[in-house]
Each structure stands twice: as C-alpha cells, then as structure tokens.
Chains A and B, each alone.
Chain A
Amino acid sequence: MSSANPTAAASGAGQRARSGRGLLRFLARRLAAAVLLCAGITLVAFVLTQLVPGDPATANLGQRAIGDPAAVAAFRAKYGLDRPVPLQYLTYLGNLLQGNLGMSQQSHRAVAQDLAEYVPATIELALFAIVLSLLVGVALGVVAAVNRDRWPDQVLRVVSLGGVSMPTFWVALVAFYLLFFKFGLLPGGGRLDPGMNAPPHLTGFYTVDAALGGQWDVWWSAVRHLVLPSLVLAVYTVGMLMRFTRASVLEILGNDYVRAARAKGLPERVVIMRHVLRPAMVAIITVAGVAFGSLLSGAVLVENIFSWPGLGQYAYHSAVNLDLPAIMGVSVVVAAVYIVMNLLVDLLYGVIDPRIRLT
C-alpha cells in the first residue's frame, strides 16, 4: 500500500534531498512487501493445488502408463511428487530464490523458459489494448463530461455501458467472424501469418524484435495480427475508462480553479487539457493500472479464440493438466505484474500531479 500525501510543492536542495530519501524509503518498503507478498502467493497457490481433487500423475500419464507402477514412480520421482508435501513447498521456495521455477509437466520444459515465451506475447497484446483504451476511453470520457446530460453524453453512456456489459468472449467471436471471416479486413488467429517464422528472440515482443532485426514483413504481420484481439480486449476497458474519466472530469470541472481559468479567458481546450484532464489522470491511471493487470491475467478466452500463445492459454492448460510448477509460475508472474503495476501507478501520481509526494 502506498502512503501518498499531498504536500505543498517546495523548492530548495534540502527539500529535494528529503524527498529523494523519502522515495528511496518508499521503494525499499514496497520491495520488501513485494517479496513477502510473492512468498504468500506461492503458499496460497501451493495449498490450493494440493486441495484440488486430482493427481498430476493421473492427469499427465496416458491411459496405459497410469496402470504401470514403474511409469507412475518415474513420473513422481521426476517432478518431486514422491516427497512429503511440506518438503515439496520448501524445495520450491528454495529453487525460486535461485530463479528456478521448476519443470512444466505439460511442456516438459523449464517453467521459466515457457514464461519467457508466453508472457511477452500477452504483455504485447495488453499494451496494445491498454494504449488503445486510454486514447479512446479518455477522449470519449472527456467529451461525455463536457457535454453532460446532452445527447453526446447520453449516447456515450450507452456505449460505455455496452462496453462493460458485453461478454468479452462473445465480442471476440463476433469480431472474428465479421472482421476476419466475413469482410477479410484483418487476419485471423496467431501472432503471425501461417508459415512465417518468428523473429529472433530478443524481447519476445514480435513487433520490437522484428523491427530490431529489420524484418519489416514480419513486423507488419505482427502488427496486423495484434489489431483484432487488442480491439476486442479494449472494448471492456474503453467502457470502463470512459465512465471513470467522465466522473473524474465532472468532479474537477466544479472546482474554483477551473472557474478561475475560464474567467482568465483561457480557451476551453487549454482549460480541459491542462487544468482538468491532468488532475483527472490520477484516478484514470489508477483504473488503467488495474485494467492492465486484469488484461494480463484475464485474457484467457480471447487468447483461446485468437490462438494467441500467451499467459492466459498457458495458465488454462496448466490448470487442466494439474501442472503444479506451471500453475505456481503463472501465479508468481501475475502477482509480480500486479505489484509492479501498482508501484508504477504510485510513481506516476507524482509525475502527473506535483502536489503528490511519495513518502
């Protein structure tokens, strides 16, 4: 949790030094809390996986191999399932401290290797969606607020209600059918056209890796494949951001300093952009941070429909295969993403609104 105290902006070297030390203390506290939080999440995830009525050996071995005691014993030994449960957890924690997330039972690879492949795919998609959502959602939210109770506001309220109400998987299916199948405006599933080789792995973001490698045909394919799933994901977040932006802007529009700015004769565009939208961004960024986290962890259905090889699909396959190391790995990554997002949001408060200082 942050402790964000609005204080009067001050100048002077002593003040800046105190502020710098405050920021460091804040970061240190947050980092310590993050480590504890991650450890707690591993414990919760581990306990939950143990409570699930199912056996990883049954889930992963075939119909004949499960009847072969030697095959079952080999499986249990390979994944450490033959050891006492508390020891399994402690071993996991010990390995985690060394960056070892274990071996996936479904992909037969290191979980870290799997995550390095799937997490960037989801982050790339979520970034595309959140940027799109911020641009559209904030702009429409402002339009709705400044036209309060007039027809643009009424229309946009219906639009935002639709955005947050429509099930994402349904939007995905309709969008896939119309934009890909019916009108052929956008490519279908996957991150690239069929048969196209992925760019050399540098960041895992195909758009970035392809650009760095000068593979512009791959870059173009990657961008085109991002559009449809990110549009679908953006439908919900646009609706949400529009509502929050509208509410924040309306609240700020009533402040004295806005009236003063208008009285000074500033153009309405400047009043809105500089004196209204900027303070409103504090609330908007908070919502956007949470939305980005949920895009990362909640894009399962969209990833499935668009054959997007991301974290959502990996999490789903891990769950149905009772792939314990992968489930734990996904839990740790999602927790880490939320922690980092919250931290970034807290830091952004200070950037957007100088009255806010982190202590």
Chain B
Amino acid sequence: MKIRSAGLLTAAIALSSLLAACGGGSTPTSTSSQAGGGTLVIDTAFQLKTADPGRMFEPTGLMVDESIYDTLLTFKGSDVTKPVPALAESYTAAPDGKTFTFKLRTGATFSDGSPVTAADVVFSLNRVKNLKGNPSFLMDGLTVAAPDPGTVVITSEKANAAVPFILPNPALGILNSAVAKQHGATDAEGADKSDTAESFLNSQSLGSGPYTLSSFSTTTQVVLTANEKYWGTKPAYSKVVVRNVQANVQRLNVLKGESQIAVDLSPDQAKGLDQLQVVNGASPNVFFLFTNNNPDISKTSSNAKFQEAVRYGIDYKGLLDLAGQGAVQAPGIVPSIFLGALADTDAVVRDVARAKAALAASGVQNPTVKLSYPSDIQVNGLNFGDLAARVQANLKEVGITVNLAPASVQTALDTYRGGKEELGLWEWGPDYPDPSDYLNFLPGQLVGLRAGWAKGTDAALEKLGEQAASTIDDQQRAALYKQIQQSMNESGPIMPLIQPAQILVGAKSLKNLQSNALWQVNVRELG
C-alpha cells in the first residue's frame, strides 16, 4: 500500500507540474530588447575560457571583454582599418616607427569611480606580457612606460607600424591596477606563476567600459550589467546576456524572439529571415591549402611543379558554392578588409591545362598525396570536410589522387603545428587586423614552417617581408604586402582559398548592429 500511495502522490505532483508547466508556456520567455534599460540576449556557440583579459584570447572572450574593458585605441563598428581613440584621446608615432606616445583622456573612470591613470595602463600591459598566456605575444618586443599620469609611451624593439592595430585587442584592456593587486594580480616578471587574480576577474570586472561582469560561466552564460559610472555615452541596455547555444538552436531562438542576436548562423541558415536583420560582413578568416615544402615529409608535395599543378588545378570559384552567399575567393592571404589586401583581379584562376602541364613537368607519375584537415569543426558555417572533398575532386581531374585524412581538431593541430602534414587544409584568423600578422606565412615563420617552408628557401620573398615589417608609411606598406602576396601566388606551397562571410542575425529593433572582425558583435555600440 505504501508503494501505491507514494507512487500516486508522486504521479500527481509530477503530472500537475508537467501540465502546469505546459499550460504556462504561452507566456513569452524572451526579455525586452528595447533600448534604454532592457535586456539584450546574444546567442553564440561559446569559445570561452576566461574573462581575465591577461589570459583571454578566445572569440567569445573577446566579445565579452570588449564590453567590459577599455583599451587605449579601438575600432568603430566594422571598420578595422583605422584605430580610433578610446582611453587615449590622441597618439603620435615617431618617424622611426618605434615609439608611440599616447595622451590619456581626462575624466575616464573605472566602474568603482576611480580615475584611469597611466600607471593602470603600464600595469595592465606588462601583466599581459608577463603572464605568458595566449595573448602575451601581442606585447612581443614592446615596452611600456608612464612618464607622467596622463601619458603612456610604448616602445618597440623594431619599427612596428602595427602597434596601433594591436592595441585595440580586448586582451589589452586596462584594469584597475590598485584593486587588481589587492586580489593577487601582478605585472612583475614571473607573473605566470605568482599572479592569482584570474578567479576574481572571472567573478567581477575591473574595467572602465560600459558594462561590468555580473556572472560568468564558460559553458552556460555570461551576464553583463550596465556600468553606472561609465565615463562615455551610457550603454543602451541595463543587462546583456551572452548565452552558449549551438547554431541551429540560435536560429530558432532569434526567430522566436527569445534572443536578439544570433552570432553563428551559416549563410544557408541565415536565408529567408526577412523578419530579422542580417548583417553580412566579410569574415577575417582565410581558408588555405598547403603542400608541404619539406622533401623529408614528401618528395611529391615539395616538388615546385607539383605545387603549380595543385595551384592551378583547384576550382576556386566552385569552392564558393560551399561557403554560401557573401563568401569570396581569397585573392591573397591578407583578408580583403585589411590594408594591403589584393584586388579580386589578382586572384589565381583555375587553369586545368596548365595544371596538367605542370604535373607532367614535375616528373611525378600518378601522384597520390594525403590531405589532412580537422573534421569536427566549422568556421563561419564552412565545413573543412566538404572543402577537402571538393579539393580532392578538383585535383582528380588534373591527375592527382588525394586521400583524405580527417582527424579531430586537436589531433590534426598536433600534426599541423609540427609541420608533418603532406597536404593540409586550414584557416587563419587574425590576431590583430594588420597585414603584418600575415608575415607568419613566409618561409621560416610560424605558418611557413608548418608548411615545411624553411628560412632561406625564397630569399627575395623573405627580404620583402623584412622590408614590409619595418616600413611605416601605409601606402608603402600596402604596396609591399601586395607584392608579397603576388609572389606567393606565383610559387610556393601556400594557396589561399576562401574568405567566408561573417553573418550576424539580429532583431529588427536593434540599431547599429555591425560585425567586427575581432570581437564579432559591437555590443557597446548597440542601440
């Protein structure tokens, strides 16, 4: 009898809860998206480890920290070609390209009301450097000094025109140093071992931006609250909720009004959403193929004529079918939205006859090569597996047999970064929106080495790279980067393929929704 009684009681409670819950479902679950005090809900598939700017370098972290922390300079909307003042109201660059002097804005305050000083800037930037974390490379070769409370001087070991483009990165957000130190932060050498502020910075924020951190989870959601003491234009929302939601559910949520912005929809998923606004920005990510130039890895892939056959055997325009509307062929390795990008007319065009001739001249009979790629990730809705299969089919027409070697991203990364892949299909997202980031693709550099392109292999190209790195004038830089890419399109193991579209889908009521190459959504500018 006890079992029956308990069972009936439990059944009654469970069923009544169920019915009541279903019955109450007609109440809208979405929160207000109206400007001036409502809640803004952003859905994105989290790539997030921390909110501590000194340790953060993941896409979702960049979006979150950009809303919380001010930087010396920033970018407006989607324009990443021109750094504009933020905490620094102005700056000057010395003619040698090594010294940058920033005049701090007066009146800027942290969320506790204390003023932002040059000492805070020095502390924050040195901390990033000494934490030896993911964003530390941003400070490579840079030293920071504060000659007076309103001035910051950044000195580069070498001429470095990219400094103003590096500083807007939210990883270089300025912390309230006094409070940070109280909670275990340090900017001293050895900070990688002695700094203990991360858990605090994942519970509270110490920035001067328009929002403050209310709650933080790497798997669920991040909640931001309007900073009552923000020194600039007051933010439009009292609360911003950034939720971890997979792409196909994002679409339903934004259509239903449960969220106001969906970040990760593919071009196909964004089709037919007339009741919403679809921002079709250019993604800064570039998909590329490489044929390993190291003969120890492969005699075939390192053969220059074989590389030419691959270069002219790929149907670049055909690949765009996979990437959907808004995607473009990458004419060079520098994305179209950055200084020094090549024009569309400079792109390599498929020429099967030339590819076959090059293959015949290579002396390699019936080549069979292995193409490695990460099979479990998508970038801007584009699947590596689909792209690899299309490359395989293209090269088959030329006479090259490609065996696909899919692997989980972590396994594939290991072989890619070790320079062990015969052919590799990867993408590069910019660390900062300046063409100098793409010098990594040259012989002897980070990506070049992964493609087996050793230092000294192409002396002329390497010299051009050195020249570009040390040139200050933007016009000259642009010309040099174009020259570098034209040379890479002529020969070499790296072939840029596609620059996909970066799509944001938002409620029509949102004002000024723009896609930013670094932090995806311009949260602080939304109205």
* A265-B424 Cα distance, complex, nearest whole Å: 79
Q: Which residue of A lies closest to B26 (CB)?
A: A184
Q: Which residue of A lies closest to B217 (CB)?
A: A309
Q: Are B21 and A307 in contact (CB under 8 A)?
A: no
Q: Hey, which chain A residues are within 8 Å of B135, CB to CB?
A: 62, 65
Tell me if A's interface is mostly helix, strand, loop or mixed: helix
Q: Are A187 and B252 in contact (CB under 8 A)?
A: no
Q: Hey, which chain B residues are within 8 Å of A307, CB to CB?
A: 220, 243-246, 249
Of residues 299 through 314 on chain A, the ones whose CB sits less than 8 Å from some CB of chain B are 304-305, 307, 309, 313-314
Select B246's contact among A135, A194, A304, beta carbons within 8 Å.
A304
Select A108's contact among B7, B55, B193, B376, beta carbons within 8 Å.
B55
Contact with B along A123-153 (1 / 0, CB 8 A): 0000000011001000000000000000000
Contact with A along B111-150 (1 / 0, CB 8 A): 0000000000000000000001111110000000000000
Interface size grouping (class) on chain A? 35 or more
Q: Are A320 and B409 in contact (CB under 8 A)?
A: yes
Total interface residues in chain B, CB < 8 Å: 70
* A177-B133 Cα distance, complex, nearest whole Å: 41
Select A185's contact among B25, B137, B244, B410, beta carbons within 8 Å.
B25
Select B198's contact among A108, A190, A317, beta carbons within 8 Å.
A108
Q: Which residue of B lies closest to A71 (CB)?
A: B132
Q: Are A71 and B3 in contact (CB under 8 A)?
A: no
**Closest Cβ of chain B: how far from A61's Cβ, in Å?**
6
* A117-B216 Cα distance, complex, nearest whole Å: 12
Q: Does A20 contact B (CB under 8 A)?
A: no
Q: Does B219 contact A (CB under 8 A)?
A: yes
Q: Are A58 and B410 in contact (CB under 8 A)?
A: yes
Q: Does B350 contact A (CB under 8 A)?
A: no
Q: Are B243 and A194 in contact (CB under 8 A)?
A: yes
Q: Are B25 and A66 in contact (CB under 8 A)?
A: no
Contact with A along B244-264 (1 / 0, CB 8 A): 111011001101101100000
Of residues 64 through 92 on chain A, the ones whose CB sits less than 8 Å from some CB of chain B are 64-68, 70-71, 73-74, 77-78
Q: Does A195 contact B (CB under 8 A)?
A: yes
Q: Which of A71, A227, A307 has the most CB of B within 10 A?
A: A307
Q: Does A263 contact B (CB under 8 A)?
A: no
25 A-B contacts, Cβ less than 8 Å apart? A54-B408, A62-B431, A63-B428, A65-B133, A65-B136, A71-B132, A71-B133, A71-B137, A74-B132, A78-B192, A108-B199, A109-B202, A132-B18, A173-B248, A176-B249, A185-B26, A188-B249, A189-B243, A189-B253, A195-B31, A195-B223, A195-B239, A317-B218, A320-B410, A321-B410
Interface residue ranges, B against A (CB under 8 Å): 1, 3-4, 7, 10-11, 14-15, 17-18, 21-22, 24-26, 29-31, 39, 41, 49-50, 52, 55, 57, 132-137, 192-193, 198-199, 202, 214-215, 217-221, 223, 239, 241, 243-246, 248-249, 252-253, 255-256, 258-259, 376, 408-411, 413-414, 417, 428-429, 431, 446
Apart from the given pairs A59-B410, A224-B24, 20 other A-B contacts in the complex at a CB distance below 8 Å: A61-B134, A63-B429, A71-B132, A71-B134, A73-B132, A106-B49, A107-B49, A131-B10, A186-B25, A188-B253, A190-B221, A195-B41, A198-B215, A224-B21, A227-B18, A307-B220, A313-B219, A317-B219, A320-B408, A320-B409
Interface residue ranges, A against B (CB under 8 Å): 52-55, 58-68, 70-71, 73-74, 77-78, 106-109, 117-118, 131-132, 135, 173, 176-177, 179-181, 183-191, 193-195, 197-198, 220, 223-224, 226-227, 273-274, 277-278, 281, 304-305, 307, 309, 313-314, 317, 320-322, 352
